[in-house]
Amino acid sequence: MNRQSGELAPTREPGSPEPDSQPFVHPAEDEFAAFLDFYRIQYQYEPTSFPLRWHDDGRIAEMFTPDYYLPDQDLYVELTTMKQAHVTRKNRKMRRLQELHPEINIVLIYRKNYHEILSRFGYGSVDITSLREDQIERILLSQKEIQARVRELGKQISEDYAGKSILLVGVLKGITFFLADLARSITRPLAIDYMQLTRAVDDGVQIDKDLDLDIEGQHVLLVEDIVNTGVTMDFLLERLRERKPASLRVCALLDKADRRLAPVNVRYIGFEIPNEFVVGYGLDYRELYRNLPFVCVLKKDVYEAGPALEG
Ligand code: IMP
Ligand code: MG
């Protein structure tokens, strides 16, 4: 056997066509690609053909070309939404591939799992998710992107506060998930406290719930979901400064710098985003959408129904 270990054949063997893996030949493949796009999950369509069997003279007798490769997950995905005959054949190919390349991560997605995945992640026909689908314009930051960035922020903060302990101050309620994730990625000792504000239509910002802890002499890191005009942050910083913390810095998940009216120094920024109204990962529109695992832009007709509540 002339197996070229680790070598990936660049093209499909002309003698062994793959009837069910031509570019988007099956609507499910098209749909799955749209699903990956929707979630901003990077993928390559059929990037690699793996030789599975060889003729005695070394020519390739059988190949396997998984439908997708997801580089961030280092995972090949093969969709099997077709007939049972294909499933059996694919199962055999999968086993063979795993024998030859045990280091390769690959999943075979069956028809039933496929629909489950689409609906579980908000792209499909199940009630709650179809509701999302027609309210969400587009995903701005995927769960994966957020998680990776939050880990980076945690690492940076841990380094910058070496030898110190931190008092994290979160502004409710948008901060819920960001603070929870950020705190767990910081490796310094820390305390957590919360404030809640209201923004009256005319007379600016008001403290609704104040801190429980005394911040004098503490290294305070104020954590916000989003800095928009900066008016909220400016107000908060002034109030906190009066209480004489040892240091006071700001960490915001999102920054709409274009909208800034009050100049605030945001030391740690997760993502700069364009001037669009976003929800998810703690951010709400009229108290809804906080539990979406990603950050997305709402469709105009949803947003134009009325102004957003603060939070
Ligand atoms: P600022 O005072 O204009 O900087 O507004 C900050 C506050 O407005 C944030 O703490 C959020 O509660 C809210 N906010 C601003 N932009 C958005 C958004 O796009 N989605 C959800 N809430 C937002
Ligand atoms: Mg807020």
Long-range CB pairs of 122-126 (<8 Å, 24+ gap) are 122/292, 123/34, 123/35, 123/38, 123/39
pLDDT at 254 over 80: yes
Residue whose CA lies nearest to ligand 1 atom number 12: 311
Banded model confidence at residue 305, pLDDT cuts 50, 70, 90? low
State which of 171, 226, 310 you would mutate to test the pocket of ligand 1, scoring each by most atoms of that ligand within 8 A of its C-beta.
226
Q: Which residue from 275, 248, 41 is spatially nearest to 139, judged by alpha carbons? A: 41
DSSP one-letter code for 23? T
Q: DSSP readout, 126-148?
A: SHHHHHHHTTEEEEEE-HHHHHH
- Where is 125: in which H helix or E strand? none
Mean pLDDT of 255-281: 91
Q: What is the pLDDT of residues 19-54, one digit of tens each?
A: 444 455 566 677 788 788 878 889 999 999 999 999
Lowest mean pLDDT among 38-42, 48-52, 207-211, 287-291: 38-42
- Does residue 122 have its Cβ closer than 6 Å to ligand 1? no
Q: Which atom of ligand 1 is nearest to the CA of 232?
A: 2
- Does residue 205 have its Cβ closer than 6 Å to ligand 1? no
Domains 19-121 and 143-305 share a fold: no
Whole-model pTM? 0.67
pLDDT at 311 over 70: no
Give residue limits of the domains in the chain: 19-121, 143-305
Look at residue 119 in the predicted model and tell me its pLDDT.
60
pLDDT at 117 over 70: yes
With a pLDDT cut of 90, the percent of the chain lying above it is 53
Q: What is the pLDDT of residues 58-105, one digit of tens each?
A: 999 999 999 999 999 999 999 886 667 778 888 899 999 999 999 999
Non-local (6+) Cβ contacts of 238 within 8 A are none
- Are 167 and 190 a contacting pair, CB within 8 Å? yes
The most confident of the ranges 33-37, 158-162, 233-237 is 158-162
Q: Which residue from 125, 146, 145 is spatially nearest to 134, judged by alpha carbons? A: 125
Mean pLDDT of 127-142: 66
Distance from residue 247's CA to the centre of ligand 1 (Å): 24
According to CATH, what is the number of the domain 19-121? 3.40.960
State which of 173, 179, 225 you would mutate to test the pocket of ligand 1, scoring each by most atoms of that ligand within 8 A of its C-beta.
225
Mean pLDDT of 284-288: 89
Distance (Å, whole) CA 61 – CA 132:
47
Q: What's the burial of 188, exposed, middle or buried (CB within 10 Å: 0-12/13-18/19+)?
A: middle
| Mean model confidence pLDDT for the chain | 83
How far, CA to CA in Å, does 220 sit from each of 43, 60, 205, 207?
A: 41, 64, 20, 18
- Does residue 227 have its Cβ closer than 6 Å to ligand 1? yes
Look at residue 133 in the predicted model and tell me its pLDDT.
59
- Are 178 and 147 a contacting pair, CB within 8 Å? no
Distance (Å, whole) CA 77 – CA 105:
9
Look at residue 189 in the predicted model and tell me its pLDDT.
98
Look at residue 2 in the predicted model and tell me its pLDDT.
37
Long-range CB pairs of 206-215 (<8 Å, 24+ gap) are 207/239, 209/172, 211/169, 213/167, 214/243, 215/167, 215/169, 215/240, 215/243, 215/244, 215/245
Q: Which amino acid is at 4?
A: Q
Distance (Å, whole) CA 180 – CA 103:
34
Look at residue 1 in the predicted model and tell me its pLDDT.
36
Banded model confidence at residue 244, pLDDT cuts 50, 70, 90? very high
Look at residue 8 in the predicted model and tell me its pLDDT.
39
Distance from residue 220's CA to the centre of ligand 1 (Å): 21
Mean pLDDT of 6-27: 44
| Residue 13 structure tokens | 């063997």
Domain 143-305 has CATH 3.40.50.2020: yes
